[in-house]
């Protein structure tokens, strides 16, 4: 599993770019995206760590996945919307 980073470390990586963070998922932050044509730099989170964060709040496996899919993964808040990746199955 990829090592988590703090908000401060991610802001330093972004080198002054404004970032949007997903509330409640700081322990799942793993980096920032690179500059890509048509896409702003954004915070990158590990999907598995995000699910674990929801489970720590008392959700079951199924509840955490359903909550994430509907409320987090499907959310779009502009060009700086955070990215969630899967690094393992």
Q: What is the mean pLDDT of each run of 10 residues along the chain (89 residues)?
A: 86 85 95 81 94 97 96 89 86
pLDDT at 48: 95
Print the domain residue range for 41: 7-85
In a domain, 68, yes or no: yes
- Count each helix (H run) and each strand (E run) in the chain, helices first: 3, 3
Question: 29, 37, 36: which is closest to 13 by C-alpha?
Answer: 29
pLDDT at 3: 86
In a domain, 49, yes or no: yes
pLDDT at 38: 73
Question: 44, 25, 26, 22: which is closest to 34 by C-alpha?
Answer: 44
Q: What is the pTM of this model?
A: 0.88
In a domain, 24, yes or no: yes
pLDDT at 84: 95
pLDDT at 66: 97
pLDDT at 89: 67
Tell me the three state secondary structure of residue 17: coil
């Amino acid at each position: 599993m990829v090592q988590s980073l703090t908000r401060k470390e991610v802001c330093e990586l972004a080198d002054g770019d404004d970032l949007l963070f997903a509330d409640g998922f700081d322990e799942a932050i793993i980096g920032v995206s690179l500059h890509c044509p048509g896409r702003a730099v954004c915070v990158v989170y590990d999907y598995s760590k995000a699910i674990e964060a929801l489970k720590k709040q008392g959700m079951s496996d199924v509840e955490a996945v359903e909550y994430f899919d509907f409320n987090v993964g499907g959310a779009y808040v502009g060009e700086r919307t955070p990215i969630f990746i899967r690094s393992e199955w």
